[in-house]
Amino acid sequence: MHLFAPLQLRSVMLPNRIVVSPMCQYSSEDGFANDWHLVHLGSRAVGGAGMVMAEATAVVPEGRISPQDLGIWKDEHVAFLARIAAFITSQRSVPAIQLAHAGRKASTRRPWEGGGTAPLEEGGWLPVYAPSALAFSERALTPEEMSCAEIARITQAFADAAVRALRAGFKAIELHGAHGYLLHAFLSPLSNHRTDEYGGSYDNRTRFVKEVTRAVRQVWPEELPLLIRLSATDWVEGGWDVDQTVLLAQELQEMGVDLVDCSSGGTVAGVSIPLGPGYQVSFAEAVHNAGVFSGAVGMITEPEQADEIIRSQKADVVLLARELLRDPYWPMRAAKALGQEQMVPKQYERAWL
């Protein structure tokens, strides 16, 4: 097993273990994908990644992080997404999409606009929703606590989005259950102070995630893989932690989840995180050791580093983000550095001899 070994997920074969991590582009209008997304995602497929995953894609308009987020809450969104998925497929890569709801971290300005709450005149909205009426930070809106009826509505919205993703031609879905967004906010006792069946105990805090997973798996074809991204730890004592992540990963696997993408943090602002090369790989290793396919993320930049993660069975795939922003053709460079065969488009062969 190595970085360029194929990986079978249900009926889908990844040609290698390199996955383009979902990266928000903040470049949509009314949720629509456009030429920027086609070139951004398409160039990484040309570059040789085994799976190319579209950014956090909102299942309802109020579930966007910013007014410029990608969306899949209406049928009209499907056509351009289908163009993207078809191009990725034509490059022998697997097209995937991350379905998301930002929860209490919704309605913000884009990072290059300074972050913080997006005012109504800039396309922001009210209210934002969360498991409890607790703001993420002093700069964030105080959310409304979701009713059980609202929870059911959003669960259905995830399922409806999965149907649209299938129509668009995507071959894998990832549910976004990390980084303090809605699903993660239900998991963490730091953001979930509910006293009903969706709060308190581990079983109650994981109920919403399981309901969403079940609803999506019911409409997503059995032969296609379902992934989930989890924040393995909040990096705060008393928060969501690795042990709970491993237990949830095993339970979700029984419900039809095929791989857990292991990230961390995002629930609490201003937390000190020990950053460094591969600083989150141990979370993927814990999930992998529990018998669940896992993905490693976090400052993975060098071919030898990524290859070692796979060879030592710390994870089953590596997800690269910033390194693939810097170099869309990193997989080709990695194959050459590691002495592995890599498919290079004929248009580019002269540069890779």
193: which residues sit within 8 A by CB, 6+ positions away? 131, 132, 134, 199
Q: Is 26 a catalytic residue?
A: no
Average pLDDT across the chain, whole number? 97
Helix segments in 188-302, DSSP class H: 202-205, 207-219, 242-254, 281-289
pLDDT band, residue 326 (cuts 50/70/90): very high
The C-alpha atoms of residue 110 and residue 117 are separated, in whole angstroms, by 9
Beta bridge partners of 54: 97
**CB–CB of 229/261 below 8 Å?**
yes
Q: Which two tokens stand for residue 163?
A: 């149907």
The pLDDT value given to residue 342 = 77
Name residue, tokens 């290698």. Answer: 16
pLDDT band, residue 353 (cuts 50/70/90): low
Reported as a single tens digit per residue, the pLDDT across 51-106 is 999 999 999 999 999 999 999 999 999 999 999 999 999 999 999 999 999 999 99
Q: Which two tokens stand for residue 116?
A: 């913080």
* Burial of 43 (C-beta count, 10 Å sphere; 0-12/13-18/19+): middle
What secondary structure does DSSP assign to 147-203, as a single string? PHHHHHHHHHHHHHHHHHHHHHT-SEEEEEE-TTSHHHHHH-TTT----STTSSSHH
For residue 224, give Cα distances in angstroms to 104, 274, 291: 31, 36, 20
Reported as a single tens digit per residue, the pLDDT across 160-216 is 999 999 999 999 999 999 999 999 999 999 999 999 999 999 999 999 999 999 999
CA atoms within 13 A on the CB side of 80: 19
For residue 236, give the amino acid letter.
V
Helix (H, G, I), strand (E, B) or coil at 219: helix
Catalytic residue, chosen from 26, 129, 181, 329, is 181
Reported as a single tens digit per residue, the pLDDT across 239-270 is 999 999 999 999 999 999 999 999 999 999 98
* Longest Cα separation, the chain: 63
25: which residues sit within 8 A by CB, 6+ positions away? 36, 37, 40, 55, 70
The C-alpha atoms of residue 154 and residue 66 are separated, in whole angstroms, by 18
Q: Among residues of the chain, what percentage have pLDDT more than 90?
A: 94
> pTM of the prediction?
0.97
Strand stretches in the chain, DSSP E: 7-9, 12-14, 18-20, 51-58, 94-100, 129-130, 144-145, 172-177, 226-231, 259-263, 294-296, 317-320
Contacts by residues 124-129 (CB-CB < 8 Å, ≥ 24 positions apart)? 124/67, 125/61, 125/62, 125/67, 127/62, 128/62, 128/102, 128/103, 128/104, 129/62, 129/103, 129/104, 129/154, 129/182
